[in-house]
């Protein structure tokens, strides 16, 4: 599987909305040692607090890839970013891009990259040749994060679990299925760019047979209860052949994301539906716990909700941002 060379220079462009820089922010949070610095086109644009530097300085400091770490409406590449991209290429730096518009679709950049012997990584379209899934039993252990809805913390939970499990000397590796995750990990498959028939096969390729004590922590996408993305979630579940599922949820969310007419499922409904789907390729799959976003309530209310969920389901429940996820990692070590 193709890997994006680290460390990175994070290109923030001139975006003003902090949410638009979530890719760069995710890299900085989870792989700080892989961030040489940041480059911006406007002094008042979003900043990560990294050292400001130009392309030449970053290259001299060891940066191997400039990452376009921000997004915009429509996923188009702004024309005024091209000069910075060309400068990185001429300096001998690879360029990685999470936008829908590909760098490899711009002939001028392709020719320049070839001339300077660097690579252009279009993360949404960076994948090996894929086959359809088979469901054939494979060695190793796998955990998949699933959700009651979209944008409930599946990537954050997966990365937090990887870190917590490694602290317990568990051989764990994050497997990315979204563009931000791919840039954090340096490899992966952006599932939203995979043809539907090949989703389960893509996950089988992403988390292949491995040592019996090795854990792949697979980043989930979407939700079986979201009409827009349930098909993606189902393909991930079948391809993962997961031994354990972790359910992600935002406490108090009133309806499915962007669908005011679609009510949220209960945790019980979501757990049973996901386990039933997962049993097709992993008959002995189990629930390992719950990861909740409790930012909308007080700490006291959050603790009360987590205690109630743990009592009802008999597995750990936590908010990894507020309270960490070490207890769940320990549960996995003891019960996985």
pLDDT of amino acid 128: 77
Reply yes or no on whether the pLDDT at 299 is more than 70. Answer: yes
Please tell me the distance from the alpha carbon of residue 140 to that of residue 250, in angstroms, as a whole number. 30
Mean pLDDT of 89-118: 95
pLDDT of amino acid 28: 95
* Token reading at 68: 């376009």
Confidence category of residue 71, pLDDT binned at 50, 70, 90: confident
Going along the chain from its start, the domains and CATH numbers come out as 8-125 (3.40.50.720), 141-335 (3.40.50.300)
Mean pLDDT of 245-264: 94
pLDDT of amino acid 336: 84
Mean pLDDT of 23-34: 94
pLDDT of amino acid 129: 86
Asked, as a colleague might, if the bond just before 7 is cis with ω within 30 of 0, I would say yes
Percentage above 70 pLDDT, the chain: 98
Q: Give the single-character DSSP code of 219.
A: P
pLDDT of amino acid 295: 95
Reply yes or no on whether the pLDDT at 72 is more than 90. Answer: no
Confidence category of residue 74, pLDDT binned at 50, 70, 90: low
179 to 23, 102, 208, 266: CA distances (angstroms): 8, 13, 20, 29
* Token reading at 303: 């603790």
**Torsion angle of the four alpha carbons 107, 112, 118, 121, in this order, in degrees rounded to the nearest 10:** -30
Reply yes or no on whether the pLDDT at 274 is more than 60. Answer: yes
Q: E-assigned strands of the chain? A: 8-13, 35-40, 65-68, 94-97, 120-122, 141-147, 171-175, 214-218, 244-250, 286-293, 317-318
Confidence category of residue 73, pLDDT binned at 50, 70, 90: low
User: Which residues, other chains included, contact 258 with Cβ-Cβ below 8 Å and sequence gap of 6+?
Assistant: 228
């Amino acid at each position: 599987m193709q890997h994006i060379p680290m460390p990175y220079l994070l290109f923030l462009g001139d975006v003003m909305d902090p949410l638009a820089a979530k890719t760069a922010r995710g890299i900085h949070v989870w792989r700080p040692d892989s961030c040489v610095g940041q480059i911006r086109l406007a002094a008042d644009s979003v900043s990560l607090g990294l050292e400001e530097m130009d392309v030449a300085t970053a290259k001299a400091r060891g940066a191997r890839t400039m990452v376009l770490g921000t997004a915009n409406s429509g996923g188009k590449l702004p024309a005024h970013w091209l000069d910075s991209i060309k400068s990185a290429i001429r300096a001998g730096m690879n360029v990685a891009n999470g936008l829908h518009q590909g760098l490899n679709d711009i002939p001028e950049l392709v020719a320049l990259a070839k001339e300077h012997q660097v690579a252009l990584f279009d993360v949404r379209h960076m994948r090996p040749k894929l086959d359809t899934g088979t469901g054939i039993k494979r060695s190793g252990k796998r955990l998949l994060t699933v959700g009651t809805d979209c944008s409930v913390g599946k990537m954050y939970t997966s990365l937090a679990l990887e870190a917590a499990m490694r602290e317990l000397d568990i051989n764990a590796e994050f497997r990315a299925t979204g563009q931000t995750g791919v840039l954090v990990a340096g490899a992966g498959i952006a599932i939203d760019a995979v043809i539907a028939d090949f989703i389960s096969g893509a996950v089988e390729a992403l988390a292949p047979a491995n040592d019996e004590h090795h854990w792949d922590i697979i980043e989930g996408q979407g939700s079986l209860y979201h009409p827009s993305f349930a098909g993606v979630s189902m393909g991930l579940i079948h391809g993962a052949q997961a031994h354990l599922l972790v359910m992600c949820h935002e406490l108090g969310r009133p309806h499915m994301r962007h669908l005011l007419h679609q009510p949220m499922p209960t945790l019980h409904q979501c757990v049973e539906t996901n386990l039933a789907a997962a049993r097709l390729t992993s008959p002995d799959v189990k629930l390992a716990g719950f990861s909740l976003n409790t930012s909308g309530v007080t700490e006291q209310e959050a603790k009360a909700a987590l205690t109630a969920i743990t009592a009802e389901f008999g597995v750990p429940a936590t908010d990894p941002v507020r309270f960490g996820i070490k207890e769940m990692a320990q549960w996995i070590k003891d019960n996985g």
